[in-house]
Chains A and B, each alone.
Chain A
Amino acid sequence: MSTTEAARVASVAKHYRRVRLWSIAGVLALATGVAASSLGAVLAEGAWWFPFMAVVVAVLASGAAFRSVNSRAWLGSVVAAAGGLVSLVLMFAPQTATLGIIPTGDTASRFGELVTQGQASIAVQRFPADAFVGIVFLICLGALAVAVAMDVAAFVLQKPALTAIPLTILLLVPSFVRTELHDAFVFAATAIAYVAVLLVASSQKNTRSAWPLISAALVLSLIVPVVLPSAEPAEQLGSGQGLISTGVNPIINLSTDLRRGIPLRALTYASEGGGEYLRVAALDVFSEDTWEPSENEPTAAGSVTEFPIAPGLSDEVPREEKVLQVEIDRIRGKLLPVPYATANISGLEGDWSWEPDGLTVSTDDSNSRGQNYEVAFVSPAPSVEQLEAAPTTLPDGFERYLELPETLPSIVTETADAVTRGETTRFDQALALQSFFADGDFTYSEDAPVAEEYDGSGAGVLGEFLTAKSGYCVHFASAMAAMARSLEIPSRVVVGFTPGERIADDSDERRFLVSTDNLHAWPELYFPTIGWIRFEPTVSVGSAPRFAQSVEDDPNTPDVDESQPEPVATPTSTSPATPGARPDLPLDEDSSAATPNGVEISPWWWLVLALPVLLLIPALVRVTRRALRLAAVRRGETGTAWREVRDTAIDLGYPLSATATPRQQFEHLAEHLAEHLGDSGTSALSSLLGQVEASAFSPRPETVRAGAVTNVLAALRASVGWRGQLRAALAPRTAFSPRDRRG
């Protein structure tokens, strides 16, 4: 008899063990799935989630299945990993495996191919990336690793709290690859799922001791998304995959790079003064299709330690000598960004040389990527009088800067003439052209030229641009340069970067961050005895040098290049530019989300709103449970009445044993509360006890009135001070106590 009894006990225990095992596995899978949805920030569609979960479920289910028949925990994790591997084989390379599941050498090489594909796919794509098979495979590999880590933490180490580590890594993946940090909602959801893991996987005795951990997890989940971006502002930008390729003619890639969803970090530089425009290429050959660099071979002898004097710059022109410390990040190519007019460069690796007309710097055997160099330059600062007094006779060889393709639409020259009518000097004509674009009714748009098929910089598209009056820097620069040439002013188009965004400010050094958003094209016009002068026709972008600004400009406006802390001006434009946003670009969804300010502000608000809600969760759980129990009492389930009284007493701090009998607990309460409860309270208690005992244990169940229960609860609450009541309401000890059926 006792043998069968023992067997029954054993089988019941086994049953509960299995239930527990599978519920832990289930809640682990849930938490992993929730955390994985953070990857949605970097992947275009959601279909990858299903293979991910397939692997996770395969891992956890294999582990649980094994452990329900064999108690060796570590072996369970080995089986779990094997299960995950089989699911990978089934999904990605069933044809290479024996019987479809046993991996072979072919499977390994297929996996290798998939990894390579995945890496390549990540390297070439912008985010959000399309989840091609290679990427999905990498994600599934990650799923295998995370799920096995969860399994080991929960079952082998028996420390479910450690599952926080794989979950956190999963959550932080998007912030490694994308500016946009993370979805606060996913963070909160994962935190809740993690709490579920702790509640389910911790043995019931440990639930209370798990609370500090749970609170820490919740608080961390709130703080991490807020703190991360501000702690590492420089890392936000373009730390992901991708490169800016300067190529032979940078203007070809310019529009593509400008439209990058995620700005890439191009370079940073330190300046003693303000921000500087950095030139990459000077394009002086204007054709039907585009602007191109002339085929001037860079002077091989031209060492970058000494540059020639800027063309045309005479001794009378005032100049400023400045120095920049530049660190290139993700620009790959043969051209080096330098300010105008460079005097010497030190610190470069490889052989670099300059081109005498454009003063651009290039290399044959090296690469701009990762270069770290100091560049000294002379910034011409002619007075307006000097510019207006510049002679009109051009030096020899400058005719090429006046060449216009024959197919140039007549609207270009007609507009140039119309705009500059009445202007006497070349410089005034140039200013008139600049303000025609910058102050006229042109709008900035990267999309309009594409949509209406006049994208590009060549002569062919200028007619459409001038009619549509909408385009981006390439169009403005090209149009102004062409119009200048039609007015016999030598011109060229320069591709480079606007000064970028200030990121740090020491007492004697300012650091600027330049990203793909700062890619820009602008015209340079030549004035004899002065040299090449930069103009800024592009509406809403950057600013011309002070001497190249119209006299109507507000004289109080400080020169942006000299002292304005935010070098990129943000005038009214087609887009409502956020401070610090990319003024170069109209704000689309991506850019607004990538705004550093957006990341900083919204999580703080979110924190302010969500923290009280999260802190109130125990109280809400408790209130809900009380309401449910009172409803059950009204339905006639009297046992719940006693549990509610007991839990309320425990919440209020009375040391009741949850396993004692109702009578023992009521006696305990009555003894401690006699003077607080008074006769009426005590008799309410004892009559409730009688009803509870009768309904639970006697053949004549009595109904307990919900009113009687609430009276007793009120008496209990009244027996402690308001502080005790507040504590019981906000931090109820029994909020997450075992289910009611355990009594």
Chain B
Amino acid sequence: MDAPTSGSLPDDVFHDHCAAIVRSISTVIDGKTEAVRLALTVLLAEGHLLIEDVPGVGKTMLARALARTVDSTVSRVQFTPDLLPADITGVSVYNQNTREFEFKKGPVFANIVIGDEINRASPKTQSALLECMAESSVTVDGTTYELESPFIVVATQNPIEMEGTYPLPEAQRDRFMARISMGYPDAAAELAMLRSRELTSPLDALTPVVSVSQLRELIATVRRVFVSTAVEEYAVAIAQATRRDREVRVGASPRATLHLVRAAKARAAIDGRDFVLPDDIDALAVTVLAHRMIPARHTGDTSALLSGHSIADVIERIVAETPVPVHAAAS
């Protein structure tokens, strides 16, 4: 959260960096431009990303490619049912030489943490990520350790009906800025994939296109994107509408509104604008809000709960019904 707030980048530099990242990732993820763009949006908005889909469609590939294009520290945690919290945050070890307990940093101490199949771990372990994601810090044995900056969690998960999965706690779901799904590739993309993976792993060919400091500059640039009062009101109106809606049991949290506006700023910057349009809010509403909301018609069909299809429909309806305030921007 305390990323350097250096001056924002010139438009063309920002645009070049973004284009480079998208191009780089697209070499390993075929035909998923929208997913890649959303991933970049979340990255630039300094949010945590949840990638949800069936196994084998490239979730981990996207996460790793995203991490690899930035020249930063990356760690990867494969979540399993027997994973313990200490395996993530780190552990204090008794050093016989110094005769003291010494903190051995866990995998969260990195710029980009890839949590693979996060919902295979027990809720206890999942919760260990909570503090990291919210506070960008870890407390072990009473000592608080600051995490790297930027600190971004990219988690993948399987749909909940898959065997051996635990649903993410609501509090943790709320800490992810956005949830995206990959979807199956079309025939051409799948064919191209077959050919390109014949010899080597395409990830090996990826080289970082931006440095950590450049990433910080990109993030700083996004933070300076202007949000008019009208757009803020619009975002708030949508969030409030989700709380009033009959079909929704738990609506969007205030943190969700915050995430929505931050993601919209990133989207505006990627589009080459220095101000947010209501269209940015519209475009991101489902991605940012759906995974946090609980439908009222919760029948025990957990797919409806987590896959978010029904709730996505509700959000789209709410967005369509909420009038867009158009008045002079606040000075």
Contact = CB atoms under 8 A, between A and B. Distances in A.
B244 A638 contact: no
B329 A743 contact: no
B252 to A, nearest CB: 9
B325 interface: yes
A130 to B, nearest CB: 56
B276 interface: yes
Nearest to A643: B326
Given A636-B328, A661-B282, A663-B279, A697 B323 contact: no
How big is chain A's contact interface, by range?
20 to 34
A743 B323 contact: yes
A699 B274 contact: yes
A664 B328 contact: no
A636 to B, nearest CB: 7
Interface string A259-281: 00000000000000000000000
A661 B253 contact: no
B207 interface: no
B260 to A, nearest CB: 15
A742 B323 contact: yes
Given A2-B253, A9-B244, A696-B326, A659 B320 contact: yes
A314 B228 CA distance: 111
A664 B282 CA distance: 10
Interface string B278-316: 110010000000000000000000000000000000000
Contacts of A663: 277-279
B223 to A, nearest CB: 14
B321 interface: yes
B5 interface: no
Given A6-B243, A697-B228, A659 B323 contact: yes
Contacts of B231: 697
A639 interface: yes
Interface string B242-279: 01100000000110000000000000000001111111
A661 B228 contact: no
- The winner among B231, B244, B276, B329 for most chain A CB atoms within 10 A is B329
A661 B324 contact: yes
A693 interface: yes
B103 interface: no
Contact of B228 (A637, A664, A698): A698
B325 A664 contact: no
A6 B254 CA distance: 10
A187 interface: no
Nearest to B324: A661
Interface in B89-111: none
B326 A660 contact: no
Given A1-B254, A692-B326, A9 B282 contact: no
B275 A698 contact: yes
B240 interface: yes
A743 B228 contact: no
Contact of B240 (A9, A692, A698): A9
Given A6-B243, A698-B226, A699-B274, A660 B254 contact: no
Contact of A701 (B274, B320, B321, B328): B328
B226 to A, nearest CB: 4
A657 B228 CA distance: 22
Nearest to B281: A661
B73 interface: no
Contacts of A465: none
Nearest to A658: B323
Interface string A619-641: 00000000000000000111100
A5 interface: yes
- The winner among B230, B254, B326 for most chain A CB atoms within 10 A is B326
Contacts of A5: 243, 254
Contacts of A657: 320
Nearest to A664: B279
Contacts of A659: 320-324
Interface string A689-713: 0001111111101000000000000
A663 B243 CA distance: 27
B197 to A, nearest CB: 39
B327 interface: yes
A204 to B, nearest CB: 11
B326 A642 contact: yes
A602 B125 CA distance: 88
A662 interface: yes
Nearest to A637: B328
Contacts of B243: 5-6, 9
Contact of B278 (A9, A639, A658, A661): A661
Contacts of A741: 327
A658 B322 CA distance: 9
Interface string B66-105: 0000000000000000000000000000000000000000
6 contacts: A2-B254, A659-B324, A663-B279, A664-B282, A697-B278, A697-B329
Given A642-B326, A696-B230, A697-B329, 11 more contacts: A2-B254, A639-B326, A660-B324, A661-B324, A664-B279, A694-B275, A696-B326, A697-B231, A697-B278, A699-B274, A743-B323
Q: Nearest 3 pairs between A and B by C-beta?
A: A698-B275, A639-B326, A661-B278
